Amino acid sequence: MDRRNFLKTGAVGVAASTLAAPAIAQDVMQWKMVTAWPKNLPGPGVAAQMLSDRITTLSGGRIEVKLFAAGELVPGRGVFDAVSEGTAELYHAVPAYWGSKSKGILLFGSQPFGLRADEQFGWMQHGGGQALYDEMYGRFGIKPFLCGNSGPQWAGWFKNEINSVEDLKGLKFRTTGIASQMAAKMGMAAEAMSGPAMFQALQTGALDAGEFIGPWTDSALGYYQVAKNYYWPGVGEPSSAEECGVNADAFAALPDDLKEVVTQACTGLYNPVWTEYTTKHAQALKTLVSEHGVNVRKLPDDVIAAMGSAAGEIMEEYRADDDELVRRITESFIAYRDLVGGYMTYADNGQMNARAGVLGY
């Protein structure tokens, strides 16, 4: 997709305003979904539209969802508050954007050296994560659902090569969530901004480096034009969950069958979104290397080790947080990571290592 086309459609539109309660005509509820993304941005923008269409279809048209891209109704970083306050019924974004509400929220999206996409969903569904997720977001009048995942994110786009921990110190670096806390402990100047804004900042020199998602979305945003070194692994975000937040009052007012429609529309989209990212990331990476001259580089081992130490310090801070709910979320996440991670040594990790070592066909 031409980067300029979807940036135009995602440009700031009408100013935010408080709208009336959902209109009901002939038993049809008209819901507004606000998103943190330019319209149809490859990856999250596409996923948001899929969710909007899915709720409308699965409800048999009883809930008509109209999507508003970032800036059309509220700014991208304003969607949480819009749904909390009832300006819109739904939002599509990522938990990594809401750390100012509570640091505990950040654990539901991604954690440095944390859960993979399948593990993240497993924690929600089978490890007690959803109950904690509901409890935290309930403080803000929101019913939350995970509805997709980007899979492993990348360490980012760097103008210069990284050969040691010292090379990171003082770098102006775009990232979000707990990864930004890790970057700060590494001596980097972490900056939070939108994906399109990151391109401009790299182009002007306001940033030295930055990460957004992965090859599919990153190539559409054109980062390869302004930084040629693309680093892996993205240990700051081993996966990044996308979420749908629903106004709690609007959700509670639904009949039981429509509650289930919204629930299944969200959770049932998790795997299709994740696997689309995986497939298109792989395709896009080939193009970035073969057609755009991108240098794919691995972070040095000492840098990864230093990041691990920084992440450990952050988790100890979370474990000792003044908010007992943050402490419970942290302990639950760590317990699930250790449980499933121990099993993965024999299961997925064992299979992947075997396949890489001896490819018989």
Between CA 118 and CA 125 the distance in angstroms is 11
Between CA 209 and CA 347 the distance in angstroms is 35
Answer yes or no: do 298 and 194 share one domain.
Answer: yes
Q: Examine residue 83 and state whether it is found in any structural domain, yes or no.
A: yes
The count of structural domains within the chain is 2
Residues annotated within the binding site are 153, 174, 211-212, 237
Answer yes or no: do 168 and 274 share one domain.
Answer: no
Beta carbons of 123 and 320 less than 8 angstroms apart: no
Answer yes or no: do 36 and 138 share one domain.
Answer: yes
Answer yes or no: do 231 and 213 share one domain.
Answer: yes
DSSP run (H or E) holding 329 = helix 324-344
Residues annotated within the binding site for substrate are 153, 174, 211, 237
Question: Over the chain, what is the mean pLDDT?
Answer: 93
Q: Examine residue 357 and state whether it is found in any structural domain, yes or no.
A: no
Answer yes or no: do 17 and 165 share one domain.
Answer: no
Beta carbons of 16 and 74 less than 8 angstroms apart: yes
Answer yes or no: do 140 and 251 share one domain.
Answer: yes
Q: Examine residue 341 and state whether it is found in any structural domain, yes or no.
A: no
Q: Examine residue 257 and state whether it is found in any structural domain, yes or no.
A: yes
Answer yes or no: do 103 and 225 share one domain.
Answer: no
Answer yes or no: do 119 and 251 share one domain.
Answer: yes
Burial code (b: 16+ CB inside 10 Å, e: under 16) for 207-229 equals: bbbbbbbbbbbbbbbbbbebbbb
How much is the pTM?
Answer: 0.91
Pairing of strands 90-93, 241-247: antiparallel
Answer yes or no: do 75 and 18 share one domain.
Answer: yes
- Specify the 3-state DSSP secondary structure of 357: helix
Q: Examine residue 133 and state whether it is found in any structural domain, yes or no.
A: yes
Answer yes or no: do 16 and 78 share one domain.
Answer: yes
pLDDT value at position 23?
43
Answer yes or no: do 267 and 134 share one domain.
Answer: yes
Between CA 221 and CA 210 the distance in angstroms is 12
Q: What is the largest CA-CA distance in the chain?
A: 64
Ranges of the chain with pLDDT below 70: 1-26
Closest by CA position to 99, among listed 36, 178, 173, 153: 178
Residue carrying the six token digits 């210069």: 160
Beta carbons of 102 and 136 less than 8 angstroms apart: yes
Rounded to 10 degrees, what is the CA torsion of 298, 303, 308, 309?
Answer: 180
For residue 75, give its domain range. Answer: 3-150+239-278
Between CA 239 and CA 260 the distance in angstroms is 26
Q: Examine residue 342 and state whether it is found in any structural domain, yes or no.
A: no
DSSP conformational letter for 162: -
Burial code (b: 16+ CB inside 10 Å, e: under 16) for 101-114 equals: bbbbbbbbbbbbbb
Q: Examine residue 283 and state whether it is found in any structural domain, yes or no.
A: no
**CA end-to-end span of the chain, whole Å?**
34
Answer yes or no: do 233 and 263 share one domain.
Answer: no
Closest by CA position to 136, among listed 323, 2, 299: 323
Residues annotated within the binding site for Na(+) are 212
* Cβ contacts of 287 within 8 Å, gap of 6 or more: 219
